[in-house]
Structure 1
Amino acid sequence: MNFSKSLYTKAIQCPKALWLKKYKKEILTPPDATALARFETGNVVGELACKLFPNGREVIYNPDDFNSMVETTKQWMDDGLEYIYEATFIYEGILVLVDVLKITPNGLEIYEVKSSSSVKDIYLHDVSIQLYVLKQLGHSVIRSNVVHIDNSYVRGDELDLNELFKIVDVSDEVNALQVEIPKRLEEFEIYLADRDNEPDIDIGSHCNKPYECDAKEYCWRVQRKIPEYSMFNIFNLGSKKQIELYEQGIVNIEDISDDYPVTAIQKQKVQNWKEQATYIDKEKIKDFLDTLSYPIYHLDFETFQQAIPEWKGISPYQQIPFQYSLHIEHEDGRLEHKEFLAIDGIDLRFELAKKLVKDIPTDVTVLAYYMSFEKGVIENLAKLYDELSSHLREINENVCDLIVPFKKQYYMTPLMKGSNSIKDVLPALVPEMKQAYKDLVGIKNGGEAMNAFPKLSSMSPDEKEETRNALLEYCKLDTLAMVEVLKKLKEVVND
């Protein structure tokens, strides 16, 4: 059996995913920009973590000759090297690469490096298969560890690796998993031995846990023809009612019986879909609109994260604002647009905050969609800059949330697919805006914006200019979209 620790953890989530990865990989959904950025972050974090274990040597990765990697590892262990990075071992076709292997007089220590901010259950399975292989090869492993980012760390003038990383001893957990491994491997081998017959494993909560499976589109849409909006959008995946309905063969919302016990909100969603009806509570929408006063400042931030904080005062994975768009809507319908986009490579949060207080007075309505995000960004800026904090906090006091009419279901339409997310609300209320996003060049969503900004420093001048223009156009469209959604709400009230 040719196996690796990544295939082992994939099989832990779903053996069918393992089989598809081996024999039908063309059906798998390729990683998107966010996933690719996550992989890249993992590599950077892994390299940096090695500095916690100095004076080691790295086994150079060679996918065409793993045996040579094994031999190099053995040679360095025999030479008495204390730390080996990417130490490589094979047992009965099972290949494992240990991020950091420590060789001590009493035995070996395993260190698995992760870019996340906690120890997840799947990491224990990852370490457990490494431990299994080493033990089967006759090595004595005295400690197994997961090294992860400590997101409570705040960078000072210099980066402190001992504060940035946490080393967690997971020996007890992975030792307890050892008894299950032979049986699991036997099960996985049986699946892989039958390359002509795809495993018949049903969909379920495992399709999303611990990660969304790259075969989900195939299993759900292609094989089972589950529509884009289905019973699964009404009931949470893995919930008692969802499981009960699925076991009865009910997937389509129209097949849910009228007397099936549901909450009032669920009942309204089911009824609206069956009737293909739009529900509008004009009075409550009017009450919401009456809370707004002109001019209305439509605000949207774009942020990015640094797993390894580059600037003083930053924590790992903290949302760092680098851009905003502001559409100012006057009572007569006139629009003004203001914007800010940071220069790459330096900390320009203060410049952003200064521009924000210049652009937004303290006594106006500020409108955001899912305001907790925008308010969180502003509050963090207020904590950083005392001279601007009073103005920033007054802005925050005046922030209203455009999500309210949809979250509270004053406006419901089947086209929203039971969601109050702007990505579903916008095309349902303002269909022409969907095409506007499609027409964007380079950057079409927040994930792409978040991934693009940190890469600006490594781009050529022409590519950088194109990307900056794309960032500006995308963020500008986000606040224009809010203007259009608000306009639609005003129209339904006045009809």
Structure 2
Amino acid sequence: MPDKDTDRTYFTKHHFRTGLECPTRLYYNAREYPENREALPSIAHYRYNKKQLTALARCQFPKGLQIDSGSIERDFEETRKKLKKGNTVLFDPVFIHNRLLANIPILEKKGDKVNVYHIQTKTFRRQKSDLSNSAGEIYSKWRKYAIDFAFQIYVISRCYPGWEIRSFFLLPAKYALAKMDKLHEVIGKIQSGESSIRRSGIKKEEIIEPVEVTDEIGKILNDRDSLDSVIAKGRTFEEQLIEMAGYFFREEKYPVTIGNKCKNCEFRIERERVQKGESSGFVECWNESLDINLDNSFKPLVFNLIGPGTKHWVERGIYLQEQVPDGEFYTLDTISNVQGKFNEKQRQSLQIMQAKGNRGPEELVKPNLYRELNRWEFPIHFLDFEAGNYVIPIRKGRRPYHLLVFQYSCHSLTEEGHWNHYQWIDGADGTYPNYELVRSLKKIPDIEQGTIVQYSNFERNALRGIRKELLAEADQVKDAGELTEWILQIINRHDSSNPTGPYLSDLSRLVKNYYYNAEMEDSLSIKDVLQSIMSVSPQLKEIYSRPYNSENYNAAIWWQADPEGAAKSPYRLMLEDREDEGIRRGTEAMVVYAQMLSEDLTVEEKQSLHKALLRYCELDTLAMVMIYQHWHYLMEENWN
């Protein structure tokens, strides 16, 4: 549905798929209930890739006409006029039937024979398999995309019943290689009207795979029980569509059923927003179905327990962590006395005990945490990369979604407790970021010495991928030999679980296996772990109640109390009273870097995004420093 029109008087493919998953959500859609914001960065990243792929696909149709008159109704009329003129190719034509709306990326008409192209960003590998089995049934991983497409075809066929329609997915080919350098820049110029499609030579690109799905779409449209939905009951596609649209337009709530499907409901908004008075569809559903009041308590739910294995409780009607029967989780004594590492069942048990009112010890630390920290050699380099995977490669010879590492931050800590901060960010100036990153890393003082620390194994894997690139282009990159040799000595380091150094250690593994505190909730992300540790650490409170200064921060006070007396998240504090655009997570950083690459920004806009990226990445490595500092204090007190 076009972004230009916010009028929700139409029923779209998005609404239909929502109804298949949970028809009750149509009520909240129709009444425009607020939605969870956690998914917004991922949606923005998807939209960027979809926009890029669509622009590339349209280069195969140089005579295509854009439908863009400013509103859905005018676009619908413009589509009808263009179709009456005979053979044509249309971009973004609009079709409306009984308030059902279809918006098509590309439509090709030759008489009554029409090809409809539906663009998706999921990669496809024809050599491995097609989209459907021998019976013409779409494989499950492609099914939701096929249902979206079937909705579009249904609407078009009702508008023009005499058409002979063939349906095609246009997908990024998984192992195709870009033939042009800076393909994203060429696409950007085409999108802005600055470059001729014919002149660009872009038609020779082969990273888009056309896949005909006419028969598969027909099967979905025509077979009973072709859809797995709450209201299917042997009904046809059309019958289900009509019923769902009816609920939506009447703003009538389908009878509520709760379960594991509610975990990722978009109307499950953040606790703070509910407490400020915003309406939560999730809360309404659960309060209607259960004798609880989530408005006030926000009692922990079982599907918020860390790790898998919670579905069996939901299926038994056990929805709150406090309802889990005794005997179905470990006791505190059992967990405390077990050596080795925490497993997911133990972590779940600690969460359940808290939900039942037994807070337990402030912290639990397995001895192996101290054992590994004691192996680390100074200087300790806390390293974090920011990277993006974009459907259109920026360098020749790369596949769709090739990893692009555009930034790093490094806090280097000496044995005396002094630190230095080093950083690098791609200037979007035409150089290849992956290689420039390594050249810059090599300049960090003593980076080959001591211990390198990452949060997850991402940095090791990213360097491994860059080394493969350099080996493949050794004849084109003058210092390829030097760079590959340097990378090899870094990625061949052991993690600190191995008794032999030097180390490239994974801090997230140490958190997961050996550390727990009573402020931890349902996440082991660095942001949530940091906030929990700051809330229990008097040492961090003392250090970070004082001003922190760096290239990117001026007198930042990282320890500030929330209304309950715990520590506020530094990631939230970073966004308060800022002049630049804020970034809270890695997906947002990907979107911001894509803006810098592809959008026509002013110098001021680019500087603002540049500053936001630097601030965010620095906080990630500072967070690792803070976690280490707290653990180091514990080790001095408890480790002999």
Normalising by the residue count of structure 2, what TM-score does the alignment of the two structures yield?
0.69
User: Taking structure 1 as reference, are residues 318 and 133 closer, same or farther at Cα in structure 2, changes over 3 Å only?
Assistant: same
| 1:40-439 correspondence to structure 2 within 5 Å | 40-63=48-71, 65-66=73-74, 69-104=75-110, 107-118=113-124, 120-136=142-158, 137-157=160-180, 159=183, 162-179=205-222, 180-192=236-248, 194-195=250-251, 197-207=252-262, 212-217=264-269, 218-221=280-283, 223-224=285-286, 225=294, 227=298, 229-234=300-305, 240-245=311-316, 247=317, 250-260=318-328, 265-271=344-350, 273-274=352-353, 275-278=358-361, 280-346=364-430, 347-359=432-444, 361-370=447-456, 372-385=457-470, 386-387=480-481, 388-398=483-493, 399-408=504-513, 410-431=514-535, 432=559, 434-439=568-573
User: Taking structure 1 as reference, are residues 52 and 203 closer, same or farther at Cα in structure 2, changes over 3 Å only?
Assistant: farther
8 Å contact 2:381–2:447 — kept in the other structure?
A: no
1:476 match: 618
Match of 1:467 among 609, 619, 636: 609
Structure 1 or 2: larger helix share?
1
2:28 match: 20
Q: C-alpha distance in 1, partners of 2:344/2:437? A: 41
The secondary structure found in structure 2 opposite 1:27 is coil
Q: C-alpha distance in 1, partners of 2:81/2:403? A: 45
8 Å contact 2:302–2:310 — kept in the other structure?
A: no
User: Taking structure 1 as reference, are residues 204 and 51 closer, same or farther at Cα in structure 2, changes over 3 Å only?
Assistant: farther
Note the alpha carbon deviations across 1:419-469, whole angstroms, 9 max, x for none. Answer: 322122111112437443223233342233222223236332233333323
2:595 match: 455
Q: C-alpha distance in 2, partners of 1:222/1:412? A: 33
User: Taking structure 1 as reference, are residues 109 and 187 closer, same or farther at Cα in structure 2, changes over 3 Å only?
Assistant: same
How many angstroms does 1:272 deviate by? 5.2
User: Taking structure 1 as reference, are residues 335 and 165 closer, same or farther at Cα in structure 2, changes over 3 Å only?
Assistant: same
2:496 match: none
Q: C-alpha distance in 2, partners of 1:284/1:220? A: 41
Give the total of aligned pairs: 483
Q: What do you get for the CA RMSD once the two structures are aligned? A: 2.9
User: Taking structure 1 as reference, are residues 188 and 85 closer, same or farther at Cα in structure 2, changes over 3 Å only?
Assistant: same
8 Å contact 1:58–1:84 — kept in the other structure?
A: yes
Q: C-alpha distance in 2, partners of 1:4/1:282? A: 53
Note the alpha carbon deviations across 1:297-354, whole angstroms, 9 max, x for none. Answer: 1100111233222322443222211111111111121112111111124223322211
Larger displacement relative to structure 2 (290-299 or 431-440): 431-440
How many angstroms does 1:472 deviate by? 1.9
Q: C-alpha distance in 1, partners of 2:299/2:464? A: 37
Q: Which amino acid aligns with 2:448?
A: T
2:552 match: none
Q: C-alpha distance in 2, partners of 1:230/1:443? A: 30
8 Å contact 2:26–2:253 — kept in the other structure?
A: no
User: Taking structure 1 as reference, are residues 460 and 77 closer, same or farther at Cα in structure 2, changes over 3 Å only?
Assistant: closer
User: Taking structure 1 as reference, are residues 50 and 465 closer, same or farther at Cα in structure 2, changes over 3 Å only?
Assistant: closer
* Identity percentage of aligned residues: 23
8 Å contact 1:205–1:238 — kept in the other structure?
A: no
User: Taking structure 1 as reference, are residues 297 and 60 closer, same or farther at Cα in structure 2, changes over 3 Å only?
Assistant: same
5+ long unaligned stretches in structure 2: 1-8, 125-140, 184-201, 223-235, 270-279, 287-293, 331-341, 471-479, 494-503, 536-558, 560-566
8 Å contact 2:33–2:267 — kept in the other structure?
A: no
Q: C-alpha distance in 2, partners of 1:193/1:350? A: 54
How many angstroms does 1:482 deviate by? 0.5
User: Taking structure 1 as reference, are residues 462 and 221 closer, same or farther at Cα in structure 2, changes over 3 Å only?
Assistant: same
User: Taking structure 1 as reference, are residues 472 and 27 closer, same or farther at Cα in structure 2, changes over 3 Å only?
Assistant: closer
Larger displacement relative to structure 2 (380-389 or 78-87): 78-87
